Structure 1
Amino acid sequence: MKTIGFVGLGSMGLPMAINLGKAGFAVTGFDLRAEARGALQAAGGEAAGSLAEAFSGRDAVVLMVVNAGQAEDILFGQAALAQLAPGGIAILMATCPPAAVAALAARVEAAGHMLVDAPVSGGVVGAEAGSLTIMAAARRPVFDAVKPVLDAMGSKVVFMGEEPGQGATAKAVNQLLCGAHLAIAAEALSLAEKLGVDTQAMLDIVSGSAASSWMLRDRGARMLEREPRVTSAVDIFVKDLGIVLEAGRDAKAALPMAALAHQLFLSVSGRGLGAHDDSQVIAAYRALQGRDAT
């Protein structure tokens, strides 16, 4: 497996594609934004002018897109899957509902290809460092075939099973914790603000104490900035926590913390901040406390 197409050169997708190139794969990437295609080309990759070009004759294609609907449209609505090399593999790395992934995998297999369900965790930091955690599900020979590709993007590649959707299920559990950790970190820092505590000093304390979490250490400083760089948008967590709640509903599992976190992100999105960095969930607390939420 040498030639890789890559669709979705966003804040995570671009460094992932670049890392594939560094690992020796021939990477051809496509994104609707010309600047993203140019950035890949500047880093040594090949910029595709269309989806068909990104897929054409490739051994595998990575889909780092927004959701399952977008992946389905690319593969079937725009018929890009038909451009893959015979036996070529589609690697879906977006966060999607497990049932949607299973249905998409069945369609891909019926078309003569295979799909690897491989969502990631680790954010922009992990994407840039090549240290993502990748939760992969596919038939074992297919997983083995794409393992070197996954290893180029992640430091922890976990085989979740042979049924598509098992990777997506693991990602849902992961996102429950990420969303809840992020919301509670925002609650703590908003309390410090409200009480007049030095927020930088407070962040230093909690980041290095038993109260710490990865999400706090990664997002805490940006919660205190007026206009932080966007590494993952509020609306991403609106989507992801919606997937978590859907999984819980299907399993008849009560998820009160996930539901509350989802409402907080939703309230911030409803204020017109959906495209802002997800650290700005703190705006929900500022609004509840009668302070400037923006």
Structure 2
Amino acid sequence: MPARTSALRGRFDLAMTTTVAVLGTGIMGTGMARSLARAGLEVRAWNRSPERAAALEHDGVRVCAEAGEAVSGAEVVVTMLHDTVAVLDVVAPLLDDLGGAVWLQTSTVGVEGVEQLAALAARHSVPFLDAPVLGTKAPAENGALVVVVSGDRGLEDRVRPVLDAVGSRTMWVGDSPGAASRLKLAVNAWIASVNAAVAQSVALTDAFGLDPRLFLEAIGGGPTDTPYAQLKGGLMIDQSYDASFAVGSALKDVGLIQDAATTVGVESRLLDALSAVYAAAARTGHERSDMAAVREAFRPE
């Protein structure tokens, strides 16, 4: 038995009856549901497109036809949906039926979005935690996300089995919802920037008539190198764009960051440029491709 699996099983000996509903089984929700099931929790999953959740049955996840079925009797309800509108559409009709379950809101919805969701939860007396995650497909599948949480710390024991199953570590960053989502936007601004900068340098190296791998070799092991640059740069050079985090999702998040930056008075010219290049990549037909496909926005016309 792998060491991590053994550790997880030991960690959850006292939490085997914890029931978790996962609403939204896209790239991230699917990986999180598998990690929860692997940790020994009882997992129910729902997705608007049922076929995207069906494979989870092989991982011990109960796939539900209705969101209400998934949340019935659950102790923790995890939302991992595209945006605020999607979360509201799915969760609002369910709030009076949660029966005291903690709502662990992991979607990236921005500052205004999390304020809307937290206010909605408060009106229905639903315990709510703002808990966006850092990481993409592989960390979600491997239970290695970083979960950033803000809200009532008194809820920690109730959600700890879930946090430990999906994440390698948890950061509590505030006592009120919103702080975690703000930090997530700051992190995503850096990720979107690094990814686009790597794409630009790969494109320049290629256009200069050089092997673009020379760029990665040149920064390799130096102070400006990062594992992320090597990973995404390799995907760009190979044009391997199977989505871990899609161009369209990156574009959505950059829009949320632009809105937040404007609200707090932070200069947004870099964000405006990022929005333009990710939008250009989407127009090349790569909206659902991995964000490494932003490389396509730098090809000479």
Residue 40 (structure 1) shift: 1.1
Give 2:103's aligned residue.
90
Give 2:254's aligned residue.
241
Q: Matched residues in 1 for 2:292 and 2:157: separation?
A: 37
1:136 and 1:143 in contact (8 A); partners too: no
The residue type paired with residue 86 of structure 2 is: Q
Aligned-residue RMSD, C-alpha: 1.7
Residue 199 (structure 1) shift: 2.3
The residue type paired with residue 27 of structure 2 is: S
Q: Matched residues in 2 for 1:89 and 1:147: separation?
A: 11
Deviation track 1:215-244 (CA, whole Å, cap 9, x = no partner) reads 313322221233521221111111111111
The 5-angstrom pairing of residues 49-198 of structure 1 reads 49-76=65-92, 79-84=93-98, 86-198=99-211
Give the SS at the match of 2:30: helix
1:132 and 1:155 in contact (8 A); partners too: yes
Give the SS at the match of 1:80: helix
The residue type paired with residue 159 of structure 1 is: W
Count the aligned residue pairs: 285
Give 1:28's aligned residue.
44
Q: Matched residues in 2 for 1:226 and 1:252: separation?
A: 37
What TM-score does the superposition give when structure 2 sets the normalisation length? 0.89
Q: Matched residues in 2 for 1:224 and 1:115: separation?
A: 43
1:6 and 1:64 in contact (8 A); partners too: yes
The residue type paired with residue 9 of structure 1 is: T
1:137 and 1:143 in contact (8 A); partners too: no
Give 2:34's aligned residue.
18
Change (3 A) 1:99 1:214: farther
Deviation track 1:58-109 (CA, whole Å, cap 9, x = no partner) reads 1111111101111111111xx123332x211111111111122122111112
2:53 and 2:63 in contact (8 A); partners too: yes
1:181 and 1:213 in contact (8 A); partners too: no
Give 1:40's aligned residue.
56
Q: Matched residues in 2 for 1:262 and 1:38: separation?
A: 34
Give the SS at the match of 2:263: helix
Structure 1 moving runs of 4+ over 4 Å: none
Could you tell me the percent identity over the aligned residues?
Answer: 26
5+ unaligned residues in a row in structure 2: which ranges?
1-14
Give 2:265's aligned residue.
252
1:207 and 1:216 in contact (8 A); partners too: no
